[in-house]
Amino acid sequence: MRKLPIAAMLSAILLTACDNNSSQTQNTEVTASQPLAVIWNGTESAGVKIGSWGAETKLTNNGVKVDYQSDHYRPSVKFHPEKPWDWSNYSEFNIAVDIKNLSDESVQVYISLTDEAGVKEDMEITGSRARSLTRAVNLGKGEEGTYFLIIEGKFVDTDAGIREKPLPWQTDEEMFVTRFGKKVDLSRITEVAFFVRGNLSDKQIEINNIRLRANPEYNKDYLRNLVDKFGQNAKQDYPHKIDDLKELKNAANQELAELKSGGLMADRSRFGGWKNGPKLESTGYFRVEKIDGRWWMVDPDGYLFFSHGPANVRMANLTTLTGIDFKDEKVRYIDPTRVTPEDSVGIVSVSDEIRKTKYVSSELRHNMFTWLPDYDDPMAKHYSYRREVHKGPLKSGETFSFYRANLERRYGDNFEEKWQQVTLDRMNNWGFTSFGNWVDPAFYPNQQVPYFANGWIIGDFKTLSSEHDVWAPLPDPFDPEFARRAKITIDVIAEEIKGSPWCAGIFIDNEKSWGMPEGTIDQRYGVIISTLARSDADSPTKAHFTEYLKGKHNSIEQFNQAWGLDLANWQAVSQGVKLSAPYTDALTADLSYMLESLSDQYFKVVHDTLEKALPNHLYMGARMANFGMPKETIKASVTYSDVLSFNIYEEGVQPEEWGFLTEIDLPVVIGEFHIGSTTDAGLFHAGLVQSDNQADRAQMYLDYMHSVVAHPNFVGAHWFQYIDSPITGRAFDGEPYNVGFVSTTDIPYPHMVDAIKDFMGDIYPKRFKGEFDSPEYK
């Protein structure tokens, strides 16, 4: 985040009322409609300060009006008590707030609760021990109501293997749903904040009546019979919901008839480039070139190319856990020499012998389904098995794919081949120019739509980690085994794509936990600090760091003085150094250098291996997330990548956050973005970026893409993902998002299709003429 001077960011209003201690004791007789405690309502506010950051606030008769400014990445309004709130005596309770959207468009509002940290005069939360729990909700244009976050109770404690569960009681109110964050220390809450992220336009809301409430009585069956035989919400009606097999087939036949009249848009080259535009050098492969101040990809025939299409066009991670497992351990065997991670593996067959050892591993999950096929049912071929699970209550288990089952119902025995052709026809008919990352390798020989190949470097090499990891630990790039496994992975990719010109580029790995770009020293350099605590013998990277420190600091005495330590000799450094705040400037500078060195080695190994195996194809980087893109890692990726890649889950490419790319002056592609809605899709979670409904979702997609092509560095954007997640959560991590272009019954969302065609219909001449250009990048 880019921070403004404190004077420009902060407005504070001190509001006082009743004794702060009055909100610290639980009233066990209070009803769900009565507040357990008032946090702030303009009058009953116990010594609460309101601070703003990148937002303007104004007290009104209806609460506090907040104007979130779009030239700030994360504008917020923060409520701070004079002394920490203690909510630890409450059990089943939620925090509720009345909000009105005063904007002319929908707004995604985040609520965060922060614990343990001190509050400085500028209202910043400080200290590495601070933890935040953050959730989000979308308000449509003019929408107002009560919105709540369940803080404690059976709902929170029940891990159902779904990233967000259905509401446990009947209500017309909306719930803030999971975005990120952990449990907080309820005995020491120092902040309640409401913020937005990455907005493309100013947003205005009004906040009032923040209070704690007892949870109502739960519906005892709220997690039972959620899913019908088509994998849809069994308890809710919504547009395009399928009621029977005849309706499903009719929908398929109608679309097939429409696709017959499709094909490439008139101005497209055979590779999807701009046939009516300037003709550049033809190299036979995709490349990049800067023209009139804007970066472009260039297709193999020499035409300007902008890469747009869905990522994750595959069925490998669309299964959901059934709550059944098997006692026979053979089912959990994983080949240690594999090159495909578990969430990318297709159907894993389970033998009849192993199925005889089945048992119910989770009644909770097993009871979510109104129908699952018997093992002698023809649909049983869509059972699979997940041998590893990233998140959730189960570590392994049987899975089922309703999507695959629906494809067979739609298209018959040859459903996989038919699905592939229908998907290719959709890509061309809708105007997409390429598949994104994680496309099924079955599409590689298609010669109808360009694609990006992908590989994960996995294996038995050393790893590096810290408490701030988001996904898996980092590989140790100084371990020779990492280089060996990189070669194995890349050789497999080379064999799969066979030098095809239809391969637009190659992604290796995804969203590594390098460290936070902002935050405390611990958060920015956590992986380096953790590695320094290890012995040289245990970590090749640590041994590399020790040699660097010896060369940088001539003696152990100079090293101790620079780092504020008192070590006896270099042997003590080799054995491991445990660091803690405060950190000296010299120590921080060394941490920064070591992170850059670590990053440089990773990208060098990958780049050099790719260069030998696939010299004609673009290296697209590692798709960094904005939670893990420190400047040191970006610098290293710039050195070795042909195209930089970032996953940007915001309303769009906000100039304040992403303007720095113009200084780097390399082409950039968005590896992932999406927008979803629960209003008329039947799922329990909209996704990381939420819209009000499907029409609003389509408009937000258009706004996002306009912001992409307005930036001179971006040469593409890939939507994650092609197909909605299972309503009960994908098996690997429980995501249940409405982020597909098609539903679990393989029916396209018409608002989205219309928006795609509208945008892609004239993308080339408009961008070439600069009609999307933004003054912020001049």
Taking the C-alpha atoms of residue 763 and residue 432, their distance in angstroms, rounded to an integer, is 11
Taking the C-alpha atoms of residue 567 and residue 577, their distance in angstroms, rounded to an integer, is 9
The Cα-based distances of 614 to 498, 517, 603 in angstroms read 9, 32, 16
Instruction: Report how many helices (DSSP H) and strands (DSSP E) the chain contains, helices first.
Output: 20, 31
Taking the C-alpha atoms of residue 369 and residue 365, their distance in angstroms, rounded to an integer, is 8
Q: Are 454 and 507 in contact (CB under 8 A)?
A: yes
Q: Are 679 and 694 in contact (CB under 8 A)?
A: yes
Q: What pLDDT is recorded for position 416?
A: 96
The single-letter code of the amino acid at 240 is: H
Q: What mean pLDDT comes out for the span 615-622? A: 96
By mean pLDDT, which of 183-187, 201-205, 757-761 is the weakest? 183-187
Which residue, 568, 600, 575, 573, is CA-closest to 587?
573
Q: What mean pLDDT comes out for the span 585-606? A: 97
Q: Are 300 and 284 in contact (CB under 8 A)?
A: yes
Is the pLDDT at 745 greater than 60? The verdict is: yes
The single-letter code of the amino acid at 483 is: A
Is the pLDDT at 28 greater than 70? The verdict is: no
Tell me the pairing of strands 644-647 and 624-625.
parallel
User: Model's pTM, two decimal places?
Assistant: 0.93
Q: What mean pLDDT comes out for the span 632-642? A: 96
* Residue 776 banded pLDDT, cuts 50, 70, 90: confident
Scanning the structure block, which residue is given the tokens 């159907």?
Answer: 347
CA torsion sign, 21 to 23 to 26 to 29?
positive
Q: What mean pLDDT comes out for the span 362-375? A: 98
> Tokens representing 375?
């093992």
Q: Dump strand ranges (E) for 361-513.
A: 383-386, 397-400, 451-455, 463-464, 474-475, 503-508
Q: How many CB atoms lie within 10 A of CB 594?
A: 23
Listed as own residue / partner, the contacts of 25-30 with beta carbons closer than 8 Å and 24 or more positions apart are 25/89, 26/89, 26/90, 30/214
Is the pLDDT at 118 greater than 60? The verdict is: no
CA torsion sign, 654 to 655 to 657 to 660?
positive
Which residue, 681, 744, 675, is CA-closest to 315?
744
Q: Parse the chain into domains and list their residue ranges.
A: 6-214, 320-400, 450-630
Taking the C-alpha atoms of residue 606 and residue 457, their distance in angstroms, rounded to an integer, is 9
Q: What pLDDT is recorded for position 40?
A: 93
In this predicted model, what pLDDT tens digit does every residue of 418-461 receive, in sequence order? 999 999 999 999 999 999 999 999 999 999 999 999 999 999 99
Could you say which DSSP state residue 366 is in? H
Strand, helix or coil for residue 546:
helix
Q: What pLDDT is recorded for position 616?
A: 97
CATH architecture of 6-214: Sandwich (2.60)
Q: How many CB atoms lie within 10 A of CB 208?
A: 18
Bridge partners for 305 per DSSP: 297
Scanning the structure block, which residue is given the tokens 């809605």?
Answer: 677
Taking the C-alpha atoms of residue 621 and residue 454, their distance in angstroms, rounded to an integer, is 11
Burial of 42 (0-12, 13-18, 19+ CB in 10 A): middle
Q: What are phi and psi of 616, to 5 degrees?
A: -95, 0
